[in-house]
Amino acid sequence: MNDTMPTDDPLGRELSLYDARKQEWSRDYLNQFVVIAGNQVEGFHPDYESAFKAGIQAFGLKQQFLIKQICVTEPVYVVY
């Protein structure tokens, strides 16, 4: 399973920012999708689709960005 779980996540910086702000964002943006590139927070969106569109518009093809749904408990998706 190591090939699917890289130790060096290219979005590690963005994830750290998310973790640091998660509690604060949970109050106002619960279940919305935040878009983060580097230290820049693009905004909050109602769904993954609109978050992705906004990310591409703001950061283009070359800059990576994280799309993360703001949840109190991280979702686990089950595949039976």
Partner 1 sequence: MDQRVVLKTSPDELQQQGPILKVLIGHTPDELEEAQSVGFEFPESRPFNALIDTGAAVTIINPQLAETYKLRYTGMERITAVGHTDKYRGYAAAISFPDRNLRGFDIVRIIACPLASPVMSCLIGRDILRHWELIYNGESGAVTILDLRR
29 binds partner 1 (CB under 8 A): no
Q: CB-side exposure of 26: number of CA atoms within 13 Å?
A: 10
Residues that bind partner 1 (rule: CB under 8 A) add up to a total of: 31
Give min distance, CB of 57 to partner 1, in A.
7
Which residues lie near partner 1 (CB under 8 A)? 1, 3-6, 9-11, 14-15, 48-49, 52-53, 55-57, 60-61, 64-68, 74-80
